[in-house]
Amino acid sequence: MADDGIALFCMLHPESPAKQQRCLDLLRHNARGYYHKPEAKCTTWSYFTPFPPPKAGSTKPLVIGGLEIYTSKAALQSQVNDPIYFQSYHDTVKRESLYSAPEELVAWYLADGFIARETHAEPFGSAVISVTKMVCKDQREVLDFMTPFAQWVRANEPGVLTYAIFTRPKAANELLLFVRYEDTTALKGHDKAPEHQDIIKKLSQMITNDIGQTTTLWKEVDDSFVSNAVCGGKAAHGTSSKL
């Protein structure tokens, strides 16, 4: 498999609410300070927290999710070696003991869908995000009906800002679906669409019974989304619209 469109799906575990805010401030700084630049090695950068947020006094562990997309493994390694933003962030994490547990990083590959829209070329606020992980009986068959549906979403649901489908060679039957919505109204409208309901019915026949699928909802961190891959999928490479 070619390494175009390699993505890191991240889970960060802040030690306290104050340290979570510190992490978010650092991540926002990275988005503003580096990833909008043409020389950035990361084509898409998004970080998010659980939605709705935990209630006061909740004992659930704190978590920050993230998705970073790079054009290649070499670009990813170049970013890891960057001393100004990447390494300085992790130096700060260690120095200030910001995490309660190590980061969780899983590599995925962009299979199809779209990352961003030309009509949202300026920051407009944080989006609502759904992340669905599924284990399929036949990944190829699922992609065969998910790919045209992603095209339909792009053409007909302007409130869906990202609809990206990822695979990974180490788990040949797994899929990751990453969707960004302009707001909860757009999310509810997508869920109610007859075309989406038809996809749900098809998926119910294609998901394994042992693990199946899980969907979690998130709220994107303000000012954290940057992308220069407008269309996404195989058509993304070579586009140059910065968000």
Each domain of the chain, given as residue ranges in start order, spans: 6-227
Is 31 a residue whose pLDDT tops 80? Answer: no
Give the residue-averaged pLDDT of 177-204.
95
Looking at the chain, the whole-number percentage of residues with pLDDT higher than 70 is 87
Is 71 a residue whose pLDDT tops 90? Answer: no
Q: Report pTM.
A: 0.88
CATH code at 6-227: 3.30.70.100
Alpha carbons 162 and 63: distance in angstroms, whole number = 22
Least confident of 123-127, 197-201, 238-242: 238-242
Instruction: Please tell me the predicted confidence (pLDDT) of residue 16.
Output: 94
User: Model confidence over 133-168: pLDDT tens digits?
Assistant: 999 999 999 999 999 999 999 999 999 999 999 999
Burial profile 89-118: b = 16 or more Cβ within 10 angstroms, e = fewer: beeebeeeebbeeeeeebbbbbbbbbbbbe
Instruction: Please tell me the predicted confidence (pLDDT) of residue 236.
Output: 39
